[in-house]
Chain A
Amino acid sequence: MRQRILTSLMVLGAALASVLLVTMPVIGQSPARKTPYQTKKSAYTPPKLPWGDPDLQGLWPATDLIGVPMQRDPKDGDRTEVTEEEFAQRQAKAERTEVADKAEYVDKNGKVGINPPGYWLEHGKPQRIASLVVDPPNGRIPPLTERAKQKAAQAKQAKQGHGPNESWEDQSLYDRCISRGVMGSILPVIYNNGTQIVQGPGYVAIRYEMIHETKIIPLDGSPHPGKNIKSYMGDSRGHWESNTLVIETTNFLGDKNGIGLNGGGTPHSAGMVLTEKWTRVAPDRMVYEAIVNDPETWTAPWTIRMPLRLDPEFPLYEYACHEGNYAMLNMLKGARAEEAAKAGKK
Chain B
Amino acid sequence: MRKTLTLLSTAAAAVVCISLTLTPDAARAQSAPTKKAKPGPVKIGSRMPDGKPNLNGVWEYIGAANWNIQDHSAAPGPFWQLGAIGAIPAGQGIVEGNEIPYKPAALEKKNQNKAHWPAEDPEAKCYMAGIPRSTYMPFPFQIIQSNQDILMAYEYASSNRLINMGKPIEAGSDTWMGTSNGHWEGDTLVVDVTGLNGLSWFDRAGNWASDKLHVVERYKRRDNDVLDYEATIEDPSVFTRPWKISLPLYRRAEKNAQILEFKCVEFAEELLYGKYKKQPAK
Contact = CB atoms under 8 A, between A and B. Distances in A.
B5 interface: yes
Interface residues of B, number: 66
Contacts of B199: 323
B127 interface: yes
A229 B258 CA distance: 12
A: interface residue count bin: 35 or more
Interface string A242-268: 000000000000000000000000000
A89 interface: no
B144 A167 contact: no
Nearest to B42: A51
B158 A52 contact: no
A12 interface: yes
Interface in A55-108: 57
Given A199-B146, A322-B127, A52 B41 contact: yes
A74 B12 CA distance: 57
A322 B29 CA distance: 47
A201 B144 CA distance: 8
Interface in B24-69: 24-25, 28-29, 32-33, 37-38, 40-42, 44, 48-50, 54, 56
Contact of B56 (A24, A203, A229): A203
Interface in B224-282: 255-256, 258-261, 263, 265-266, 269, 272-273, 276-278
A168 B269 contact: yes
30 contacts: A5-B5, A8-B5, A12-B8, A15-B12, A16-B19, A19-B16, A20-B19, A24-B19, A26-B24, A45-B28, A45-B29, A47-B32, A48-B33, A52-B42, A166-B278, A178-B266, A196-B162, A200-B151, A201-B41, A201-B56, A202-B41, A203-B56, A207-B162, A214-B153, A219-B41, A328-B273, A329-B272, A329-B276, A335-B278, A336-B278
Interface of A: 1, 5, 8-9, 12-13, 15-16, 19-20, 23-24, 26-27, 43-45, 47-53, 57, 163, 165-168, 176-179, 196, 198-203, 205, 207, 212-214, 216, 218-219, 222-223, 225, 229, 231-233, 315-316, 318, 320, 322-323, 328-329, 332-333, 335-336, 339
